[in-house]
């Protein structure tokens, strides 16, 4: 165990050299690194959001809403179909993602027609043509209609993917630095925004579905606070975006929708100098918009965003050019955000923020400096303790400890693994535990000497005997770290990463570098005793 071939020595020093090479960019600033020759590694340790400051948001697509909306759309078609077949609609109701109605006049051919409804209803998302997406149950003339599992799954998947795209567009529009937007599981989206400590604006942008519709105001009725639910059939009551107390009675029929928009830009009204949003429709949208405005001159036209009326101007002229403007008493930032939302498109379903973790840059910097400070002091304490206990051998272990830390830093930089505050704790724990391998070895050597072996064979056997113990002992910690890696997310995961790296580097250095130093010492200097004090 004391003999090292030249190749082995070369490999040990090569490993240490590479660790140094990859660790060293960390002591330079970005601007210095730019001037380094291109063959040198320049990657620094990748700091987690808890250290560099930033926001972590976990969003969920409200999938219930998607199914609810689809069921609602289906119910419109179903009503029409049943009406055509002279079947009473009075008992038709929507209950918990299914439609229920009673009738004794439903023939099997009508059932077939109902099943066909789903196909026309959902062409856009279903690739499988000619197959029904519905389950029609008949319990003694009580009909329960619901979507099948496969359809629900596909609706959700497509809605989530679409949401991901729209979230990405909205965040990109704001120009934040290096955002990371990822899908997690079946219906969740993780957003990491480094450097953004107060994500209020992004949260409010993501909190809006941004479903824009143009609907006519129902002038035959007016809102009566004593009967807040009384509305003509085909109309609905919507509140004003600026003042929830102001209500509008608006016709349900959507004349033009946001999906026909091709552009939206913030601007200022040339006359009033008020911030506005100008928009432009595509060909179909322009045609619809032209037709509506032409036919309803003198009537108020409500512009509705997420079921709230932004404004309801009176149509003065037919607008045939396909473009217009919205003025809703915004300030410049609100106009800008609305334009962003309209450009990025509407979300297929609302997003819910399940979790937010935002750290300001100050706290991150404080954590880094506290972590550094704690690491340095812990390090010095361990170094002194080892020398006191093991004298010369302790000194070897200390050199190994330094190399160990450099290797952890080098590997972190090389892998671009994220260093978090718990990650720093993992490194500090490694400082304490890294010497364990050497402690085990040194204690073995002392025992061998006590048993009367010669020095060289004591060192030799010390290493040999300690090996399996060291492996067994470190594998247990490794198992715990691995489980943590898979179960945890975010900063805590960083702890398992540094702990794992630390385990590998400490075992590696104990069995290569420290052993090499000690073998040199014992063979070349031939000390009369090993210098391991028996008294502790």
Partner 1 sequence: MKFNLNNTKIPFMSARIGAFIFSVFLVVISFGLFFYSGLNFGIDFKGGTLIEIETEEQVDLGEIRTALSSLSLGDVQVQEFGSSNNILIRVEQQLGGDSVQQNAVEVVKTSLNESLHTTVNYRRTEVVGPKVSGELIKSGVIAIVVAVFAMLIYIWFRFEWQFSLGAVLALIHDVILTIGVFCFTQLEFNLPIIAAILAIVGYSMNDTVVVYDRVRENLRKHRSKPIDDLLNLSINETLSRTIITSITTLLALVSLYIFGGSVIKGFTFAMIWGVIVGTYSSIFVAAPLLKYLDVKREWSTTSAVDSTK
Interacting residues of 263 by C-beta distance below 8 A, sequence separation 6+: 279, 280, 343
Site for partner 1 contains 451 (CB under 8 A): no
Size of the site for partner 1 (CB under 8 A): 80
The CB-side HSE value for 137 (13 A sphere, CA atoms) comes to 10
Site for partner 1 contains 320 (CB under 8 A): no
Q: Is the Cβ of residue 15 or residue 424 nearer to partner 1 in the bound state?
A: 424
Q: What residue spans of 85-148 are helical by DSSP H?
A: 108-121
Site for partner 1 contains 476 (CB under 8 A): yes
> Which helix (H) or strand (E) covers residue 190, if one does?
strand 188-194
Site for partner 1 contains 286 (CB under 8 A): no
How many other CB atoms are there within 10 angstroms of residue 311's CB atom? 19
Q: Is the Cβ of residue 407 or residue 431 nearer to partner 1 in the bound state?
A: 431
Per-residue DSSP letter, 313: P
Give the C-alpha separation, 431 to 501, whole Å.
12
Tell me how far, at minimum, the Cβ of 328 lies from partner 1, in Å.
Answer: 21
Q: Burial, 35: exposed, middle or buried (Cβ in 10 Å; 0-12, 13-18, 19+)?
A: exposed
Q: Is the Cβ of residue 15 or residue 437 nearer to partner 1 in the bound state?
A: 437
Q: Which stretch binds partner 1 (CB under 8 A): 17-25, 406-414, 487-495, 515-523?
A: 487-495
CA 20 to chain CA centroid, Å, is 33
Enumerate residues 132-161 that contact partner 1 by CB under 8 A.
none
Pairing of strands 308-311, 142-147: unpaired
Site for partner 1 contains 254 (CB under 8 A): no
Enumerate residues 356-385 that contact partner 1 by CB under 8 A.
356-360, 362-363, 366-367, 370-371, 373-375, 377-379, 381-382, 385
Among 127, 472, 525, 526, binds partner 1 (CB under 8 A): 472
Enumerate residues 87-116 that contact partner 1 by CB under 8 A.
none
Enumerate residues 194-213 that contact partner 1 by CB under 8 A.
197-198, 200, 203, 207
CA distances 436 to 176, 239, 477, Å, are: 45, 69, 12
Q: Is the Cβ of residue 242 or residue 461 nearer to partner 1 in the bound state?
A: 461
User: Among 312, 316, 320, which Cα is nearest to 298's?
Assistant: 316
Tell me how far, at minimum, the Cβ of 511 lies from partner 1, in Å.
Answer: 16
E-state strands within 11-133: 46-47, 54-61, 93-95, 98-102
Tell me how far, at minimum, the Cβ of 45 lies from partner 1, in Å.
Answer: 18
Q: Is the Cβ of residue 174 or residue 488 nearer to partner 1 in the bound state?
A: 488
Tell me how far, at minimum, the Cβ of 460 lies from partner 1, in Å.
Answer: 13
Site for partner 1 contains 488 (CB under 8 A): yes
> Which helix (H) or strand (E) covers residue 83, if one does?
helix 63-84
Interacting residues of 304 by C-beta distance below 8 A, sequence separation 6+: 212, 213, 214, 215, 238, 250, 310
Enumerate residues 411-450 that contact partner 1 by CB under 8 A.
421-422, 424-425, 428-429, 431-433, 435-436, 439-440, 443, 446-447, 450
Enumerate residues 5-64 that contact partner 1 by CB under 8 A.
50, 58, 60, 62
Pairing of strands 418-419, 46-47: parallel
Q: Which stretch binds partner 1 (CB under 8 A): 38-46, 129-137, 340-348, 469-477?
A: 469-477
Enumerate residues 382-401 that contact partner 1 by CB under 8 A.
382, 385-386, 388-389
């Amino acid at each position: 165990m004391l003999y090292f071939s030249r190749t082995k020595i070369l490999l040990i020093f090569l490993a240490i050299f590479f660790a140094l090479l990859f660790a060293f960019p960390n002591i330079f600033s970005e601007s210095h690194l730019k001037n380094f020759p291109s063959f040198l590694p320049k990657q620094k340790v990748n700091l987690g959001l808890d250290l560099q400051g930033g926001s972590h948001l976990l969003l969920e697509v409200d999938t219930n809403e998607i199914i609810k909306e689809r069921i609602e759309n289906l119910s419109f078609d179903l009503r029409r179909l049943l009406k055509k077949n002279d079947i009473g609609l009075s008992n038709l109701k929507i209950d918990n993602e299914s439609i229920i109605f009673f009738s004794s006049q439903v023939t099997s051919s009508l059932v077939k027609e109902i099943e066909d409804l789903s196909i026309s209803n959902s062409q856009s998302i279903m690739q499988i043509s000619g197959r029904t997406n519905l389950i029609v149950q008949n319990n003694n003339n009580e009909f329960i209609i619901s979507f099948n599992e496969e359809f629900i799954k596909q609706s959700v998947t497509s809605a989530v993917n679409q949401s991901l795209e729209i979230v990405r567009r909205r965040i990109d529009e704001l120009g934040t630095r290096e955002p990371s937007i990822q899908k997690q599981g079946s219906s969740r989206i993780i957003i990491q925004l480094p450097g953004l400590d107060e994500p209020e604006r992004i949260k409010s942008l993501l909190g809006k579905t941004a479903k824009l519709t143009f609907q006519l105001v129902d002038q035959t009725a007016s809102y009566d606070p004593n009967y807040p639910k009384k509305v003509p059939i085909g109309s609905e009551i919507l509140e004003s975006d600026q003042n929830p107390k102001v209500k509008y009675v608006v016709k349900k029929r959507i004349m033009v929708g946001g999906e026909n928009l091709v552009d939206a830009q913030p601007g200022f009204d040339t006359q009033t100098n008020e911030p506005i949003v100008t928009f432009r429709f595509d060909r179909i949208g322009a045609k619809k918009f032209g037709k509506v405005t032409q036919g309803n001159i003198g009537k108020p036209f409500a512009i509705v965003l997420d079921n709230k009326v932004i404004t309801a101007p009176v149509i003065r002229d037919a607008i045939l050019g396909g473009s217009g403007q919205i003025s809703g008493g915004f300030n410049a930032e609100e106009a800008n955000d609305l334009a962003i939302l309209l450009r990025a498109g509407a979300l297929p379903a609302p997003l819910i923020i399940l979790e937010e973790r935002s750290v300001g840059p100050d706290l991150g910097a404080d954590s880094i400096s506290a972590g550094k400070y704690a690491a340095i002091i812990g390090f010095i304490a361990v170094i002194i303790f080892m020398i006191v206990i093991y004298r010369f051998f302790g000194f070897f272990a200390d050199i190994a400890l330094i190399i160990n830390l450099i290797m952890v830093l080098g590997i972190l930089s090389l892998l671009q693994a994220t260093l978090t505050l718990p990650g720093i704790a993992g490194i500090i724990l490694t400082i304490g535990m890294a010497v364990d391998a050497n402690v085990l070895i040194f204690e073995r050597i002392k025992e061998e000497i006590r048993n009367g072996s010669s020095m060289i064979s004591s060192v030799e056997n010390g290493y040999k005997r300690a090996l399996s113990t060291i492996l067994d002992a470190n594998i247990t910690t490794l198992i715990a770290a691995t489980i943590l890696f898979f179960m945890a997310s975010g900063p805590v995961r960083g702890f398992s990463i540094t702990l794992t790296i630390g385990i590998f580097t400490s075992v590696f250095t104990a069995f290569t570098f420290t052993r090499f130093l000690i073998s040199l010492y014992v063979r070349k200097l031939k000390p009369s005793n090993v210098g391991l004090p028996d008294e502790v």
